[in-house]
Structure 1
Amino acid sequence: MIALLALTLTVSTAAPVLTLDEALQAARQNNLDIQVARARLAQSRLLTNRAWAGYLPTITVGGSYTRNSTEAAVSFPGVPEEIVIQPYDQLAGRAEVRQAIIAPTLWPAIRNAGISEDVAELTTENVRREVLFGVAQAYFGAASYQEAIRAAEFLLEVNKAREADTQKRFDAGTVTKVALLRAQLDRARAEQDLVRARNSYLSAKLALSTLILREGDFTLELPPVPQVPSEDVDLVKQALEQRPDVAAARRNVDLAVGRRTGAWFAYAPSVGFSGLYQISNAAGFTGQNDIWSLTLSAQWTLWDGGLREISLREESARVAEATAQQKQAELRAVEEVSRSRLDYESAKANLSKAEEALALARETQRLTEISFKAGVATYLEVADANAALTNAEVGAISERLQTSLAALRLLRAAGLFTAATD
């Protein structure tokens, strides 16, 4: 009954398990870097509206009140009443409409605004993927440290049991004081390794909590090593098609070309229309209180001191810069895929050898323990077997972590990380 009660209390008070998918979902919702990127994207999505505003009509209205020091009036032959052209209290209202009819500089500006929005979306997507990649890295690291704690706890129990057994043998006079001291030293070293593993786990979990803004205690479950496409899949092609940073570099070239086109369009004339309506309690010389006018205007700048030529050369240089950056982004993607593939293959081979070494170390430790109890093996052989098992346990956990991280880096380099984890 007591054991059952203890088990019930342990289960009920255990910290909830946070899975990798839950951590990624929390990052999508709570991560501050992603929120900043989304806010900037919302601002960028207004660029097209801002560009179109230059081609939409502008309507302005206004009014005024003036107190004049004197009143002025004139009379004309045949007109029985004087016409007040300046009353003491003068009221006036004005309404004006302006509309661009032909505005060549606005045409590429509207197109460029749409391209800028595309670049902003791709940049936001790249930020989102980088943040989620960082969360996945932190999760795998913290989960591996958690496994290391379990391994350290198991090995500590083994060393404690070995110390207790050696103490009994020393009291019986069957082993020397050196064997007992060695057992105590191994136990102390195992305790130190456990403290180190726990501190590393808490530090890694704190970094993960900061990324996902998760409060409260939680435990992790070590996910399997992420699956990567087979060697038959052209990951370089996938990277050039799927990576948002590469796509953003291409769209930046289109944007630079569009801006250069806008510099050329500055040489073209523009045509506009305006309409004006005014009303006042001062009739003026016409004898009417309101007037209106319609104006069709054209403007053509023939020489502006060379500013257009400077802008054209500047935009041409930006096209060359954007083109070089596009090639740089594509070459970087190709290099990252190739290097990440090599790192993954190397890590996978190391993991296979580490798992083989762990299996051998466990069997060696088991047989040595049996031999020691039978009086065949010495305590030094037992200590060496335990040390080898400790190194094998830690090595296997480390190689599993490195393999998982290498797989994540390969998926990220190929632009497939989001598809593989969402």
Structure 2
Amino acid sequence: MISLIAALTLTVSAATPVLTLDEALQAARQENLDLKVARARLEQSALLSRRAWAGYLPTVSVGGSYTRNSNEAVVALPGGPEIVIQPFNQFSAQAEVRQAIIAPSLWPAIRSAGIAEDVAELNTENARREILFAVAQSYYGAASYQEAIRAAQFLLEVNTAREADTQKRFDAGTVTRVALLRAQLDRARAEQDLLRARNAYASARLALATLIQRDADFTLELPPVPQVPAANEDLTKQALEQRPDVAVARRNLDLAVSRRQGVWFSYAPSVGFSGVYRLSNAAGFTGRNDVWALTLSAQWMLWDGGLREINLREESARVAEASALRKQSEARVTEEVARARLEYENAQANLSKAQEALGLARETQRLTEISFKAGVATYLEVADANAALTNAEVGAISERLQASLSALRLLRAAGVFMAE
């Protein structure tokens, strides 16, 4: 029965396509919904500069109207023709052009819009890296569960064969019923462990499939532990230079300073120009159906009830907040890099010990099996050796996963994970 199950497992694995880590990351770049949302928001933010410049560009408007008057008004000038001041049916059209000549409050606004676009772009880049980091974490986790299934299958096959052998020995009267019950119990536990491993793998694979927006009809291959920079490299400096979240904190400070400058510039006067052309079938007192006017205007708000002073204090507080957040971000990154380096070194040491323990467990299980067949070792010694081997297999897989995840976290903390 176990051989049949193993054969079916191999057949399904051969028929199911293998999804590599690079393919999963590429699929996330193209199909991940969170990344699509971030890109859509970036496209919206790309219009901030145009919106800010719109206040400094000329505006042109045209309009027309029709009025039905109850009375007609006509003026007859001495020695001149009669002029219709108000006809029964009055038509008029107007064209107007406005242009800001000196608008100090708009200058910082334009600069702030450009900074805001930079912040949006950096946030999108940070979101992209975090999403790909989540995909890589999920891939390594699911691949490790897949390896755990193989270890559980091996233990089940060993315990099933041991149960069959013990049953034959019990029938021959060479072992006690306690030994047979122990063999059956070990086989039942192995079946339960295999079921747990398969369920955990199915859940992890479903989570990965959701991140990359595809059906969970794939198997995985366990990638090697990611390579990390050498210990003598200054990863903290690299992280402060390359991490987009640090750049966001710095640009947010620039944005706060620019907005405070905008309040200062609001104290300055503004100068504008406007031109109007009107056309009507009512000539008016000038005797002409069309008139135009050019206007140069200046405005200087001397007192607005203290609103600008309030805005200045508010923006100054935001500058102080942004400055503190920038320092906090840099301190957090420094701590993350140092902690990630320690975790990676610890995980590498644990992995080395787990691999050594696995080698010893395999050799112990092999020698115990030989001794048991020779009648030297007891069944309990064989069961203990098999259990130790399984624990060593699972421990090695777990430590390999932790080493891979710690390497990913170190690359992320240093700002080099998926930087391209």
Match of 1:85 in 2: 85
Structure 1, unpaired ranges of 5+: none
- How far the C-alpha of 1:10 sits from its partner, in A, is 3.0
- How far the C-alpha of 1:393 sits from its partner, in A, is 0.5
Match of 1:238 in 2: 238
- How far the C-alpha of 1:214 sits from its partner, in A, is 1.2
Match of 1:67 in 2: 68
Alignment length (residue pairs): 414
Give the secondary structure class of the aligned counterpart of 1:361: helix
Distance of 1:31 and 1:242 partners within structure 2: 24
Match of 2:380 in 1: 380
Distance of 2:21 and 2:145 partners within structure 1: 15
Q: RMSD in angstroms over aligned alpha carbons?
A: 1.4
Give the secondary structure class of the aligned counterpart of 2:291: strand
Distance of 1:407 and 1:373 partners within structure 2: 44
- How far the C-alpha of 1:209 sits from its partner, in A, is 1.1
1:247 counterpart letter in structure 2: A
Distance of 1:12 and 1:380 partners within structure 2: 35
Structure 2, unpaired ranges of 5+: none
Q: CA 1:138–1:12 in 2, change beyond 3 Å: closer, same or farther?
A: closer
Match of 2:201 in 1: 201
- How far the C-alpha of 1:211 sits from its partner, in A, is 1.1
Match of 1:119 in 2: 119
Match of 2:133 in 1: 133
Deviation string, structure 1 residues 278-326 (Cα, Å, up to 9, x no partner): 0001111111000000001111111111111111111111100000000
Match of 1:155 in 2: 155
- Percent identity over the alignment is 80
Q: CA 1:216–1:145 in 2, change beyond 3 Å: closer, same or farther?
A: closer
Deviation string, structure 1 residues 102-153 (Cα, Å, up to 9, x no partner): 0001111111110000011111111111111111111110000000001101
Distance of 2:373 and 2:296 partners within structure 1: 108
Match of 2:248 in 1: 248
Aligned pairs for 1:152-191 within 5 A:
152-191=152-191
Match of 1:25 in 2: 26
Distance of 2:270 and 2:164 partners within structure 1: 96
- How far the C-alpha of 1:13 sits from its partner, in A, is 6.3
Distance of 1:326 and 1:246 partners within structure 2: 7
1:395 counterpart letter in structure 2: G
Distance of 1:98 and 1:259 partners within structure 2: 26
Match of 1:220 in 2: 220
Distance of 2:240 and 2:16 partners within structure 1: 43
2:365 counterpart letter in structure 1: Q
Match of 1:351 in 2: 351
TM-score (ref. length: structure 1)? 0.96
Match of 1:38 in 2: 39
Distance of 2:12 and 2:252 partners within structure 1: 55
Give the secondary structure class of the aligned counterpart of 1:295: strand
Q: Does 1:402 align with 2:374?
A: no
- How far the C-alpha of 1:12 sits from its partner, in A, is 9.4
Distance of 2:172 and 2:258 partners within structure 1: 91
Match of 2:361 in 1: 361
Match of 2:336 in 1: 336
TM-score (ref. length: structure 2)? 0.97
1:302 counterpart letter in structure 2: L
Q: Does 1:102 align with 2:102?
A: yes
Q: Does 1:55 align with 2:56?
A: yes
Distance of 1:221 and 1:147 partners within structure 2: 9
Give the secondary structure class of the aligned counterpart of 2:298: strand
Distance of 2:214 and 2:417 partners within structure 1: 23
2:169 counterpart letter in structure 1: R
Distance of 1:13 and 1:372 partners within structure 2: 36
Deviation string, structure 1 residues 370-422 (Cα, Å, up to 9, x no partner): 11111111111100000100100110000001111111111111111114xx6
Distance of 1:97 and 1:224 partners within structure 2: 67
2:364 counterpart letter in structure 1: T
1:361 counterpart letter in structure 2: A
Distance of 1:11 and 1:112 partners within structure 2: 58
Match of 2:17 in 1: 16
Distance of 1:343 and 1:155 partners within structure 2: 31
- How far the C-alpha of 1:216 sits from its partner, in A, is 4.3
Q: CA 1:12–1:401 in 2, change beyond 3 Å: closer, same or farther?
A: closer
